Amino acid sequence: MFQRTAALAALAAGILALASAAGLAQPNKKAKPDDAAKVKKALQEVQDFVGTWNLEGTQKVGGKTDAWKEKVAWGWKFKDGEAWIAVEFAEGKGKYFSGGELRYNLDKKKYVLALTPSGKGEAQTFEGDIAKGALKVDRKDAKTGDVYRVTMNTIAEGARFAMKYEKQDGGKGLFSTVHQMSGSKDGESFAGGAKKPECIVSGGSANIPVTYMGKTYYVCCSGCRDEFNADPAKYVKGK
């Protein structure tokens, strides 16, 4: 009996070890509070991206200009203490990309943008920083040496958004524009207006009401709404 019990214990330990090696049965480690706060603060630098944008894209093909329209939506995501910003192009059916995620690598102190091409294809990962008010991230094709750059920024006090996709042949010389999109945010105008409430979760401008203990607060996106509803006391403390 003792030998059988020992054998079963050894077998269980072996299975657990294999599972651990394969990355299974291991709970996601929550980000350290201090690190999570630093990541969130870095992402708040592009808080103006959050929202739904009515964009018009253009691309020169030969001597002609190809144009199209699509909605692009940015919103916060939270899980296990981590925060990032997700993007969706035309409800997953954008001309060039279906969606993606923008994160901040605390070790490298770099922004990392992963974009999923429409149709088939692996996610394209770009890395970079904020320069002169714009987020600029690059990726290099290992086979061709070509460098691709995505530049994004807002203007008109956050009412207008622009995104440019460029290519540098062989990683040398000037970048040339492959395609670009620009447009305004849903419900915004260049005329401006009254200052919007601040998102109680992310700190940006907000227009979605949430309530707790009979009091109304505001959030900027569905991700912040879900995060607030999961633990409202965490965010209203001291308000």
Read off the CATH number of the domain in which 130 is found.
2.40.128.20
Residues 158 and 216 occupy one common structural domain: no
Provide the pLDDT for residue 190.
52
Residues 198 and 134 occupy one common structural domain: no
Quick one: how far is CA 127 from the chain centroid? 13
Residue 154 in domain = yes
> What one-character-per-residue DSSP string does the chain give?
-HHHHHHHHHHHHHHHHHHHHTT-S-PPPPPPHHHHHHHHHHHGGGGGG-EEEEEEEEEEETTEEEEEEEEEEEEEEEETTEEEEEEEEGGGT-SSEEEEEEEEETTTTEEEEEEEESSS-PPEEEEEEEETTEEEEEEE-TTT--EEEEEEEEETTTTEEEEEEEEEGGG-S--EEEEEEEEEETT--TT--SPPPBPTTT-SB--EEEEETTEEEEESSHHHHHHHHH-HHHHHTT-
Section 204-212 average pLDDT: 93
State the residue range of the domain holding 225: 194-239
d(CA 227, CA 191): 32
pLDDT, tens digit (0-9, with 9 covering 90-100), for 147-191:
999 999 999 888 999 999 999 999 999 999 999 999 999 876 555
Pick from 162, 185, 208: which residue ends a domain? Answer: 185
Pick from 157, 185, 213: which residue ends a domain? Answer: 185
Residue 16 in domain = no
Residue 9 in domain = no
Residues 65 and 174 occupy one common structural domain: yes
Residue 61's pLDDT band (boundaries 50, 70, 90)?
confident
Residues 157 and 89 occupy one common structural domain: yes
Does 55 or 62 have the greater pLDDT score? 55
> Within 13 A of 99's CA, how many CA atoms are on the CB side?
10
* Count of the separate structural domains present in the chain: 2
Residue 2 in domain = no
Provide the pLDDT for residue 119.
85
Average pLDDT of the chain to the nearest whole number: 86
Determine contact, residues 163/180, Cβ cutoff 8 Å. yes
Residues 198 and 131 occupy one common structural domain: no
Section 143-147 average pLDDT: 97
Residues 57 and 164 occupy one common structural domain: yes
Residues recorded for the chain:
239
Residue 229 in domain = yes
pLDDT, tens digit (0-9, with 9 covering 90-100), for 23-34:
333 333 456 879
Closest CA to 227 of 47, 76, 30, 73: 76
Residue 236 in domain = yes
Residues 93 and 202 occupy one common structural domain: no
Residue 15's pLDDT band (boundaries 50, 70, 90)?
very low
Residues 154 and 58 occupy one common structural domain: yes
Section 84-88 average pLDDT: 98
Residue 47 in domain = yes
Residues 214 and 175 occupy one common structural domain: no
Residue 82 in domain = yes
Section 68-82 average pLDDT: 96
Residues 136 and 40 occupy one common structural domain: yes
Residues 43 and 87 occupy one common structural domain: yes
Residues 165 and 209 occupy one common structural domain: no
Provide the pLDDT for residue 62.
84
